[in-house]
């Protein structure tokens, strides 16, 4: 019995990246669909769950991707609604790489800090897909999290979404100039930069001047990087007593999590691998 993965992508062309990761993770047959709408989900899902008996459904699984996380979440909800009784398969949700990237970054930060419980962490550019998931995972693991945005309404909306989805309390902060950034970083022990590609969020002169700051992680690999002075390949580089992680190093762990998650899909027919489950995988990889 071949391991079949149904790839549902909200973009017009299903992601080649996700297809390669799926094959490397152990999928043997890919059924790739792009431009998937909520209305189309039940028919596609039923094509997977009706073709094998319940005892064989662990050999089929679903991956939900695409560049639009909100649309991906809607596809995930529609997928789960299409299951009934024993007729279900395992599902991996990682639209825009939001979950695996956030899980990798936060796990590395947790390992460097000796755990996150009670640690003060600031997420710069926190209203995007990785920033939101990163803030949630940090808070779920016990950190005191401050999420920043250049706009107050976006920061407030992001915090409300995190409360609704993950049940966590995160502080919102507006950072539109250097003075506000300085205040937002006050007392911070770790920083996750998760803003748009090619935008510098934190100058080297500032992070070097913060005595309590111990760990910095940047998920942006497109120059200029999100944290000035960090190299993309740095994987825990010690610079003046601060531990630095670049996007390529975080990406290396992200790929290991992604492939491990695909493999885990075929161990049962009832797993849903979302942010929390992928974070658990990341911590397993690092022995946390």
Interval 160-197: pLDDT, tens: 999 999 999 999 999 878 788 888 898 999 999 999 88
Distance CA 31, CA 154 (A): 37
Residues in the chain: 288
Q: What is the pLDDT of residue 58?
A: 97
Residue 218: what are its φ and ψ, rounded to 5°?
A: -125, 120
Distance CA 268, CA 275 (A): 19
Q: For 249, how many CA atoms within 13 A lie in the half-sphere containing its CB? A: 20
Express each pLDDT in 190-199 by its tens digit.
999 999 888 9
151 or 182: whose pLDDT is higher?
151
- Beta-bridge partners for 196: none
What's this model's pTM, rounded to 2 decimal places?
A: 0.96
Cα-Cα-Cα-Cα dihedral of 146, 149, 153, 158, to 10°? Answer: -50
Read off the pLDDT band of 5 (50, 70, 90).
Answer: very high
At what angle are helices 129-140 and 275-286 packed, to 10 degrees? 70
Q: With the C-alpha atoms ordered 152, 157, 159, 160, is the resulting torsion angle positive or negative?
A: positive
Distance CA 58, CA 3 (A): 8
Express each pLDDT in 78-92 by its tens digit.
999 999 999 999 999
Q: What is the pLDDT of residue 180?
A: 83
Q: What is the pLDDT of residue 232?
A: 96
Q: Distance of CA 74 to CAs 69, 78, 93, 140, 181, Å?
A: 9, 6, 11, 23, 34
Cα-Cα-Cα-Cα dihedral of 96, 100, 101, 106, to 10°? Answer: 150
Distance CA 75, CA 9 (A): 9
Q: Which domains does the chain have, with CATH numbers?
A: 4-97+253-286 (3.40.50.10280), 99-250 (3.40.50.720)
The tokens describing 99, both together, are: 């979950």
Q: Distance of CA 203 to CAs 150, 177, 245, Å?
A: 16, 12, 15
CA Rg, the chain, in Å?
A: 19
Q: Distance of CA 71 to CAs 67, 137, 161, 279, Å?
A: 9, 21, 15, 22
> What three-state secondary structure class fits 186?
coil
Strands 235-239 and 242-245: antiparallel
Express each pLDDT in 31-65 by its tens digit.
999 999 999 999 999 999 999 999 999 999 999 99
- Beta-bridge partners for 147: 123, 172
């991956």: which residue's tokens? Answer: 63
């Amino acid at each position: 019995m071949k391991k079949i993965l149904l790839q549902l992508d909200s973009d017009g062309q299903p992601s080649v990246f996700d297809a390669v990761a799926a094959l490397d993770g152990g999928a043997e047959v890919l059924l790739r669909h792009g431009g998937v709408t909520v209305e189309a989900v039940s028919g596609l899902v039923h094509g997977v769950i009706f073709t094998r008996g319940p005892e064989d459904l662990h050999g089929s699984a679903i991956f939900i991707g695409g560049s639009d996380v909100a649309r991906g979440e809607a596809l995930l909800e529609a997928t789960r609604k299409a299951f009934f009784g024993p007729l279900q398969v395992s599902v991996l949700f990682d639209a825009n790489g939001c979950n695996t990237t956030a899980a990798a970054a936060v796990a590395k930060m947790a390992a460097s800090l000796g755990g996150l419980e009670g640690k003060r962490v600031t997420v710069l550019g926190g209203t995007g897909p990785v920033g939101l998931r990163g803030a949630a995972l940090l808070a779920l693991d016990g950190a005191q999290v401050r999420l920043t945005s250049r706009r107050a309404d976006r920061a407030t909306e992001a915090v409300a979404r995190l409360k609704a989805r993950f049940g966590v309390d995160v502080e919102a902060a507006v950072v539109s100039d250097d003075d506000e950034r300085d205040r937002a970083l006050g007392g911070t022990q770790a920083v996750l930069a998760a803003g748009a590609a090619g935008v510098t969020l934190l100058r080297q002169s500032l992070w070097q001047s913060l005595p309590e700051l111990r760990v910095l992680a940047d998920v942006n690999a497109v120059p200029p990087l999100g944290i000035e002075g960090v190299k993309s390949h740095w994987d825990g580089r010690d610079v003046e007593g601060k531990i630095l992680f670049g996007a390529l190093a975080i990406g290396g762990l992200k790929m290991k999590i992604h492939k491990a998650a695909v493999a885990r899909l075929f161990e049962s027919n009832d797993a849903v691998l979302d942010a929390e489950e992928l974070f658990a995988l990341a911590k397993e990889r690092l022995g946390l």
